[in-house]
Chains A and B, each alone.
Chain A
Amino acid sequence: MIPTHWFLILSAILFAIGVCGVLTRKNGITIFMSIELMVNAVNLTFVAYARQFHQLHGLIFVFFIMAIAAAEAAVGLAIFISLHHHRDTIDVDEANLMRW
């Protein structure tokens, strides 16, 4: 049996990599993929704790997170497509119309 804190450490590493992607990249799609990576790291934490405490609620929550992440991906990519139509770029630094 693999101790739970190993899974938590793996989840922390993936989360940190996701944070690095969001902070460092300019390509909107890559930032979005880093966000998905972070969500998956959190999913791993939920499942690890669900097994630790023998509760199904962790698994149910992961189920809902997956559904919501799917909805978020759909809407977020629609926003990026719309940005591409109007500005012909997906560089997030170019979406600066509302900057003061």
Chain B
Amino acid sequence: MIEFTVFFVFAAIAVIFALVVVLHRNPVVGALSLVASFFALAVMYVLLEAPFLAVLQVIIYAGAIMVLFLFTIMLLNLQHREEPATRPIQQFLGYTSSALFGIALVYYLAKYAVLQLPSTPFLSDARRVGVTLFQAYVFPFEAVSILLLAAIVGALVLSGRSVTQS
């Protein structure tokens, strides 16, 4: 009973703030609405019996990635920029095609993706995730760390001013 209420409330929050991201003019408002949407998704993860991932979602997505977005928006001073409206044909085609896509997906999921839940609870605490990560997935783990290093170096190189510019 309480679970269903929590699910509906936070699903509504996630969807509404996602719509604000996509539809609002100001990118700062969009970024903050995305943070709210991520928070609602973290609650969804708790409902799915994955509390470790829920806190990871808040720490990584809402706490680090979106701070990066906000910094970029603030430093580039993008909120005062008036974005020219998209061409009407692009808007029409974009809205209708994504709406059709969404409706088709939801319909087919509701029709074909109904599964019975197993009766045992799902044990997914940090210890098990950590053990699986370091036993079965140790190679992707190390590869992702090298990828992150490449991303850091790439971000530094791309955003620095070139030496030929005054």
Residues of A within 8 A of B (CB): 1-10, 12-21, 23-27, 29-30, 32-34, 36-37, 40, 43-44, 47-48, 50-54, 56-57, 59-60, 62-64, 66-75, 77-82, 84-85, 89-91
Contact = CB atoms under 8 A, between A and B. Distances in A.
Contacts, number: 235
Interface string B2-34: 011001000100110011011000010011001
A6 B76 CA distance: 40
Contact of A82 (B61, B110, B159): B159
Interface residues of B, number: 84
A23 B69 contact: no
Given A60-B132, A73-B69, A17 B117 contact: no
Given A16-B98, A81-B76, A91-B83, A6 B18 contact: no
Interface of B: 3-4, 7, 11, 14-15, 18-19, 21-22, 27, 30-31, 34, 37-38, 41, 44-45, 47-50, 52-53, 56-57, 60-61, 64-65, 68-69, 72-73, 75-76, 78, 81, 83-84, 86, 90-91, 93-95, 97-99, 101-103, 105-106, 109-110, 113-115, 117-118, 120, 122, 124, 128-129, 132-133, 136-137, 140, 144, 147-148, 150-152, 154-156, 158-159, 161
Given A8-B109, A24-B90, A37-B37, A70 B101 contact: no
Contact of A17 (B18, B57, B110): B18
A86 to B, nearest CB: 9
A54 B120 contact: yes
7 contacts: A9-B109, A23-B97, A33-B34, A33-B69, A56-B128, A75-B151, A91-B84
Given A17-B19, A25-B86, A68-B144, A54 B95 contact: no
B72 to A, nearest CB: 5
A64 B139 CA distance: 12
A27 B115 contact: no
Given A24-B90, A64-B140, A70-B60, A33 B31 contact: yes
B27 A29 contact: yes
